[in-house]
Each structure stands twice: as structure tokens, then as C-alpha cells.
Amino acid sequence: MSFFEQQHNNIKLLKGFIILLFLSCLATRFNFCLSNLSNIPFTLKTLPFKGNLSFDEISLNKVSKDFGNRYQYYPMAVLNPKSVSDISTTIKHIWQMGHSSYLTVAARGHGHSLQGQSQTHGGIVINMESLMLPEMQIHVGNSSYVDVSGGELWINILHETLRYGLAPRSWTDYLHLTVGGTLSNAGVSGQAFKHGPQISNVQQLEIVTGTGDVLNCSKEQNEELFHSVLGGLGQFGIITRARILLEPAPTMVKWIRVLYSDFAAFTRDQERLISEENAFDYIEGFVIINRTGLLNNWRSSFNPQDPVQASHFNSDGKTLFCLELAKYFNFEQIDIVNQEVERHLSQLNYIPSTLFLTEVTYVDFLDRVHVSEVKLRSKGLWDVPHPWLNLFIPQSKIHSFAENVFGNILTQTSNGPVLIYPVNKSKWDNRSSVVTPNEDIFYLVAFLTSAVPSSNGTDGLEHILSQNKRILEYCERENLGVKQYLPHYNTQEEWRVHFGNKWEAFKQRKFDYDPFTILAPGQRIFQKTITTS
């Protein structure tokens, strides 16, 4: 054998040895990973639960999606807690594993998140609706309140508190959401101008932190954690109990809609109404883009104030702006309420022929979106992608925003409502984790679009996502000072910009209350670091 042949054989042997060594290491590491995966469920199963852990495919599949229907991450297990100690024990167990554990925890209420925020890949989803706490405790007095589970639905709270002639002061438009879910964001609706968001109407919280500690929080006790968790996107703790402020509940609602073709008049009237003390109890608005035959397709329950005038109205496919108002009352107040409503409406500059109104019960008004849900479910149109975009727009920028977005970007009929209404910043507590524009009044603009599966048209997912991107790029390019509500970003730098001067405090609170980044991985704010010894 020649020298060159010997060298060639040596090189082949060396290559073979390296490949075998690599495969051996890979197999060792793979077996190590499999060992970890098999051991972790075993250690969890030994924990003293009153509830149970589910590992079956049906349970995992159910919590791997959300209302947004765009992201799908499978957890390792689902915890169905019966007590707060089940949640605390689970998180403390993972925390004690230290940085070597890859496990994360996502609290899931009714699964109404949009971007996978209630999901976790390979971690544990906590089914908050299974949390069995003592029944709602309602305190009636000078400062009435109700104590509820973090997994309780707002619709159930409404029905229970009404038995005492009481109700929470601030709502979301959709009531089939959990207390912990909305308080982790803000909870905004047409009452926010008057009472602030739901997070401004909470007295106390019970929190399970990222170290498994169970803490009672209020403005007097554990104050920093209390404010951090409100609007904190689940980053600092899981809300297991909340004390919600109540007020005397009305029995009826006078529900009104009027139309504007002039955006300046529309916003001027909205801003005037939210500054008046007792004009209306609920003020919202929405945009109607490029629709004809509008009044014939209004709502069958709404009646035109003047049917003759209304019959002559023609939208001509213009972009219109609807002001939606509600006045709460009891039967014995009807005459006074009618006079007040008429007086306030006489000061507005809507199109006279488009005054539509109706009277409904308080429950029917608050739970109105559920009626639409039932209809959509019956048609198989509820479980579709929902690429929603929610923005807070400074008052000083709302006109340029509307001109460019409704005039240039969103020019065709939207496949879902576009809400637009102002709120008073004075009703928001700046100590919470929520970030809002730095102006006394700002607008919520919500593009609540549904995508038609398999469509390549304007109602398809890709078109809607592209439209959302153009809106966000316009806001950034023009430096409008817009903040996302229910925010979603891809990089930590984008999150830093979002939080602005709150970012450093937000980071520090994360370190203080969830040092191993166990909680709410679906928000994608902080990346969990894993170390191996």
C-alpha cells in the first residue's frame, strides 16, 4: 500500500470516527431530553392536587388554539385546578427546578386571546374556568363589591349581582370572558369614559406569582404587585380572585344610534358627550365603509324616530360614522329620561333622518354581542381566523389617522365592525402596567375583522394582515404616538418601544415576581433562558 493510499484510508477512518462520535453524542443528548420529558410529567403527577392534570390529546388540542385561530401551540399538560393551592403548587414546583427547566405556564380563561397569548409550547396550560372557589361573595353597603374567582365569567357576575339590584360599573362589549383575562389587559367598553376601564374598578386581588407565592394585593397591601398585575399581560402573576366595585343596577336601557357623514362633527359630538357629567351611560361609535341600502339592513329591533325621513336617506356608498349611545333607567324614571335624552340629542349634529332608537333590558343590552355569536356559530362562522387590530390613538392625531386609514387604506367594506370612540385618560390609573397615549383624551380604534377561510379576496386572512400592517406602518411613519391595545410584537425591542418610559420598571417587576420567566410565554415579551449543568 502506498503512502497516499495509507493516508486516504486514515482520513476515511477518522471521518467515520467523527461521525460515530457525533451520532453517539446526539443519541446521548436525545436520550437525556427524552429522560427529562418522561421525568417531568412523573414529578408533576406526584404533587398533591385537588384537581387534576390532563395529558390526553383531546385536552391538549382544546387549549392549543384560541379565538384568534391563527396560532397553535401544544402544551405538555393541562392543569384543571380546584383550588388556588393547585396553581401555587404547580408554579412553585417549576420554580424550584430553576433555570434548568424548560417548563412554562399559561393561564387560560375562555380562550379569547388573539395571538396565542393563552398558549404555551411544551408547558402547562392552567384551565382557570375549572377553579372552584367559594361562591361569589357580594357585599352590600356604602361601597358595594363582589369577590369572584379569576376564572369567573363576567356574564355570570352580572346575573348574580343583579339579584341584589347591583352590577359592576365597567364592562367589555363581550361578557363571556373571564375576570383574570380582562384585568390582565384593561377591559374597555363604552362605559370607560365614565368609570374608566375594568382595571380602574378593582379593590383587591389575590395573585399567584411566578415563584408560587400567593399574595393578597390592594392599594394598601403589596401595592406594587397590585398595580403591576392590572394590565400586566399575565407577566407577574395569575389573578385567582378579585374584588370588583358595584353600583346600583338599572332595569332598562334606551339604546340610540345616529349617523354622521362628517368625521369632524362626529368626533366633536363624541368628545362633548364624554365631558358632560350625566349625559349618557355608554358612548361608542363605529365606521361604516362603502355600504348601500344601509338603513334597510340596520337592526330590526331599532326603529327610526321619523320613518318618513329615514326612508328618503341614501348613503350613496359614502363612509359614514355611527354614534351609539345608551341611557340607563328604571321604569319610574321614563318621563325624565326621555326629556334628558331629547335635550342632549338636540345639541348634536348628526344627520336628522338617521335617528334610530329602541328600549331593551339592561341584561339584553350588555349581552348583545352574544346574540351575534350564537348566529355565527350556527353558520360555522365563529371559529375562523380573527386578525384583530386594536389601537389607542391620541386625540390630536385622530383626524389625520381617519383621513388616511379610512380614506386610503381601508376603502372597502370591512368584514367585521370598526369601532371608534374616545375615553378620558383621567379615569385610568397610570400606576398600572397599561400604556396609553400621553394626552387627556385618546380614542380606541378597533378593527374587529373576521377572515373567510380559503379566501384570496379582500375578506381573506392575507389581505387583512397586509391591511393591518399598512395601518401600523402608517402610524409609525407619521409618528402618531399610537399604542396597541391587546398588544402583539415579535421582538423585545418592539416591546421596549411600546412600553416607553415604563419599560425599565416592567423589566424589573418581571425579575422580582417571575425571575425564571415561567408565566405567560405566549405574550413573547421575555425569552426563557435554560441552563444545563
Residue 112 is a catalytic residue? yes
Question: Angle at CA 189, nearest 5°, toward 185 and 192?
Answer: 90
Q: How far apart are CA 393 and CA 443, in angstroms?
A: 5
Is the CB of residue 289 less than 8 Å from the CB of residue 410?
A: yes
Of the candidates 160, 173, 340, 459, the residue annotated as catalytic is 173
Distances (CA, A) of 387 to 415, 460, 489: 11, 10, 14
Biggest CA-to-CA distance, the chain: 113
Beta strands in 4-156 (DSSP E): 52-54, 77-80, 105-108, 124-127, 137-139, 145-149
CA dihedral of 410, 416, 417, 418, whole degrees rounded to 10? -30
Residue pair 203/173 in contact by the 8 Å Cβ criterion: no
> Is 99 one of the catalytic residues?
no
Closest CA to 123 of 91, 83, 151, 84: 91
Reported as type and span, the H/E element at residue 528 is none
Of the candidates 269, 261, 273, the residue with the CA atom closest to the CA atom of residue 402: 261
Please pick, among 112, 195, 386, 488, the residue that the annotation labels catalytic: 112
Q: Where are the beta strands (DSSP E) in 332-396?
A: 356-361, 389-394
**Side chain identity, residue 365:** F
Phi, psi of 463 (to 5 degrees): -65, -45
Cα separations (Å) of 442 from 181, 200, 215, 392, 433? Answer: 23, 17, 34, 6, 17
C-alpha cell at 50: 385537588
Which backbone phi and psi does 422 adopt, to 5 degrees?
Answer: -90, 155
Of 86, 147, 152, 284, which residue is the catalytic one?
A: 284
- Residue 264 buriedness (CB in 10 A; 0-12 / 13-18 / 19+): exposed
Spatial distance between the Cα atoms of 406 and 141, rounded to a whole number of angstroms? 48
Instruction: Mark whether 284 is an active-site residue.
Output: yes
Active site residues: 112, 173, 284
